Amino acid sequence: MINLEKQENPEKKGVIISVDGKIDTNGTEALREKIRESLDDVDLRFVIIDLAKCDFITSVGLGMLVGAHKKANAIGKKLAFVNLHKNIESIFRITNLYTFFNVSSKAGQVWGE
């Protein structure tokens, strides 16, 4: 089960999507939709995924995040990941996605604060 909370910050032209739960088959689809909505929003420049409460991701979930990252870059937006749970950080490092993705310890770093 996954719970996604979307918090918009119009001043920063960004949104934070907080993930609580596992990015498994069902979680991947739910997160894909939230990311797609955010990337399609012309008023947003930054889409930040907070993974503090997410301790598991499947290979399908990783593939979806890679696709979302590529789409964001192609349309001039920034998809970033913050507050990585230690399990997710380990997976990102093992797969070399840690350096591929925009990873920060907090949202303020993404927004340049």
DSSP letter at 24 equals S
Determine the pLDDT at residue 111: 82
DSSP letter at 106 equals S
Determine the pLDDT at residue 112: 81
Q: Which amino acid is at 108?
A: G
Give pLDDT tens digits for 60-93: 999 999 999 999 999 999 999 999 999 999 999 9
Report the top-level CATH class of 2-110. Answer: alpha beta
Residues 85-112 have a mean pLDDT of 94
Pairing of strands 102-104, 14-21: unpaired
Determine the pLDDT at residue 113: 65
